[in-house]
Amino acid sequence: MKEKVLEIKENAVKEIKNAQNLQALNDVRVKYLGKKGELTVLLKGMGALSPEERPVVGSLVNEARDTIEKQIEEKEKALKADIIKEKLEKEKIDITMPSKKQEIGSIHPITGVIDNVKDIFLGLGYQIVDGPEIEKAIYNFDKLNTPPDHPARDIQDTFYITEDIVLRSQTSPVQARVMETQKPPIKIICPGKVYRSDSVDATHSPVFHQIEGLVIDKNISMSDLKGTLEMFAKKCLGENTKIRFRPHHFPFTEPSAEADVSCFVCKGKGCRVCKNEGWIELLGCGMVHPNVLENCGIDPNEYSGFAFGFGVERIAMAKYGIDDMRLLFENDVRFLKQF
Ligand code: DAH
């Protein structure tokens, strides 16, 4: 019996040493210490021994089990350490390798100008609204006091889808839509795309962007318009920017004006950007025509308002010194990367 115990122990220790992985080690555990394991079976057969032999063999078996358990435990630790080591080897990252170049995009100058203008007017308490690009002629023209024979309505200038539906040629129709659905006080700007039947050249594109502004309330006057535009010009183009009004005509405003800003490149002295004028044409504006208010369900005896509209490309070109509008639409990354 004693020899048997020693033999089992010896064999077990050998097999533990030889176990190549956790599964094999577990098999050894089951083989010797499991319910039907060799040592367990031996322990069960102790009843057959004489009373003198029993404690001697008993302590031998216990000693053998302790040894086997301890060895298994140590081997398990060693195997697990090997696994981790192997994993670390395999998953090692070579941080000395140059990384792939990450190309970082930039905001398109048109989007940049629009975002900037939105920020300025949000700060003045304006709402930002949207309108359809495919628009009813009645909103693009009639409600804006533009008579049927007005040259802007010519098919030479405006894209017609049907006789009554156009690609909006300006963001001004949004004015009419807002006035019809909102009660004064109204303070909105509307940025968006507009379409005109122009051929492409350095200063023209059949698609471009405008931003429209509209304020309707009691006692709104031309001085509110001028103060607002002055504030806007300073915030958008620099604190030293001056503004001047020139009389003009738009069907939907009376009186109407075009507003120029002092050239922010040469500060009014005359340069390439302002074509030696010292001033840059910024936008069209005026007091909303009483007919327009009436057309849109607002009583011109109770309310008055001002409106303005300008081209985003023109501002982006002036602001960034871009001399050809086509660059803004070709989307050559070498150009766009500069902003
Ligand atoms: N819609 C005009 C255009 O496209 C610009 C404009 C002028 C808008 C005067 C206005 C305005 O709101 O009051 O040329």
240 compared with 49, residue with greater pLDDT? 240
Residue 58: predicted pLDDT: 84
Q: Give distance in angstroms: CA of 142 to centre of ligand 1.
A: 14
Reply yes or no on whether the pLDDT at 286 is more than 90.
yes
Q: Per-residue pLDDT averaged across 32-40, rounded?
A: 88
* Cβ atoms of residues 68 and 9 within 8 Å: yes
Q: In 91-197, where does DSSP find H-type helix?
A: 109-123, 137-140, 173-181
Residue 95's pLDDT is: 82
- pLDDT tens for each residue of 315-332: 999 888 888 999 999 989
Write out pLDDT tens, residues 201-253. 988 999 999 999 999 999 999 999 999 999 999 999 899 999 999 999 999 99
Contact of 230 with 262, CB cutoff 8 Å: no
What's the chain's average pLDDT? 93
Q: What is the pLDDT of residue 297?
A: 97
Give the residue whose CA is nearest to atom 3 of ligand 1: 170
- Mean pLDDT computed over 149-153: 90
Question: Amino acid letter at 88?
Answer: L
Distance (Å, rounded) from C-alpha 31 to C-alpha 37? Answer: 5
Distant-in-sequence, close-in-space partners of 259: CB < 8 Å, separation ≥ 6: 229, 233, 243, 244, 245, 246, 281, 282, 283, 284, 285, 308
Distance 218 CA to ligand 1 centre (A): 22
Question: Among the atoms of ligand 1, which is closest to the Cα of residue 253?
Answer: 13
Nearest CA to ligand 1 atom 13: 285
Atom of ligand 1 nearest to the CA of 284: 7
Residues with CB under 6 A from ligand 1: 170, 172, 212, 250, 253, 284-286, 307-309
Is the entire prediction scored with pTM above 0.75? no
**Residue in the structure block whose two tokens are 């659905």:** 181
Q: Could you tell me what percent of the chain has a pLDDT over 90?
A: 72
Question: How many A from CA of 303 to the centre of ligand 1?
Answer: 20
Nearest CA, atom 5, ligand 1: 309
pLDDT at 312 over 90: yes
Indicate the range of 56-65, 69-78, 156-165, 173-182 predicted with least confidence: 56-65
Give me the pLDDT at residue 169, please: 97
Split at pLDDT 50, 70, 90, the class of 68 is: very high
